[in-house]
Structure 1
């Protein structure tokens, strides 16, 4: 699982940076920027742990994530006005999205969750922080307006669920990671979105 942990830290960094970007756009003060970055990076995991009743959320007992959050939030502050949301950032974000979905999905399978709880645990971990970020800043959650984002995670998670007992954890997790990342990036590059009903 060390490879998943490494990708999760990269994802935490990316999500913290996205939270900081939004906070700067919304004219938050310095404290507010770091708080929103933290909520964006760790909010999904905290929500998952609360709903699944696993005890104290992992964020409050694992201090290894803090440097990645601080770094992710500090870079947009230092480079404000110079660093824009671009393909490189989307790549890092897609890696983090993939890692969050897969790592939480693996934990859900090993905990004996049924399919619905498995999908909830994976999805809330992957996109919950971004939703909390948008709610706090009084924005409509981006995952419901643009981009194939949560849907990419769900597709990859379903592959993990069905192939885990057939191929084993190692192969299934890498298949899921590659699928989520590929779907997210292809849809971003080709500007593929779900239809909006007017």
Structure 2
């Protein structure tokens, strides 16, 4: 198993846990929890594969992701009420964002994508599942309200775009992973957000 596979499985686990946490908050039944976990974990990748026209989305051809989704969704169910969800799941979500963005970025670079398609692939993979999760639960997507989330993905992806030819896959992916995670967590801890424009 190479570094890219590890990153993807880490992202799947992290986003499944995040989706299950939101489902529990919204009082979904057990079936709903696992469905929302699956949508959160795989939604971004499915959207990416549809738009980039790579054929049948990988999720429907590769069953190795299912155990990670089940595990990621089950842990919040077992530990519900025993942990302070807020900080823990922000960290888990930041790991998922970083892992998905970087793994899809490496694949995009190896496929020869231009910069715009590269940024689309990394961004939609990183945030698409969370947006679908929020739409299903009738929430305004957080990435459009307060959180420096997609911006962290874009900045880290741009860094990957420029350092990949210089440093190669292994080093550039780890640097980008750390940058995305750090930006997301620093902005969360320091409550740094983009300005909201008041209509008045």
TM-score range, shorter chain: over 0.9
List alignment gaps of at least 5 residues for structure 1: none
Q: What is the correspondence of 1:84-163 to structure 2 with a 5 Å cutoff?
A: 84-163=84-163
**Helix, strand or coil at the partner of 1:86:** helix
Confirm or deny that 1:79 pairs with 2:106.
no
Aligned mates of 1:135, 1:57 — CA distance in 2: 21
Q: What's 1:23 paired with?
A: 23
Aligned mates of 1:27, 1:111 — CA distance in 2: 42
Runs of 4+ in 1 over 6 A off after TM superposition: none
CA drift at 1:32: 1.2
Q: Is contact 2:14-2:95 (8 Å) kept?
A: no
CA drift at 1:96: 1.9
Q: What's 2:51 paired with?
A: 51
TM-score, scaled to structure 2:
0.92
Q: Is contact 1:98-1:181 (8 Å) kept?
A: yes
CA drift at 1:94: 1.7
CA drift at 1:89: 2.9
CA drift at 1:15: 1.0
Aligned mates of 1:156, 1:90 — CA distance in 2: 18
- Spell out, residue by residue over 1:123-142, the C-alpha distance to the aligned partner (whole angstroms, 9 max, x if none): 00000000000111111101
Q: What's 1:184 paired with?
A: 184
Q: Is contact 2:15-2:92 (8 Å) kept?
A: no
Aligned mates of 2:24, 2:174 — CA distance in 1: 35
Q: What's 1:164 paired with?
A: 164
Aligned mates of 1:79, 1:113 — CA distance in 2: 41
Equivalent pairs counted in the alignment come to 198
Q: What's 1:173 paired with?
A: 173
CA drift at 1:4: 3.1
Q: What is the correspondence of 1:6-45 to structure 2 with a 5 Å cutoff?
A: 6-45=6-45
For structure 1, which segment, 46-55 or 72-81, has the greater mean C-alpha deviation from structure 2 after superposition?
72-81
List alignment gaps of at least 5 residues for structure 2: none
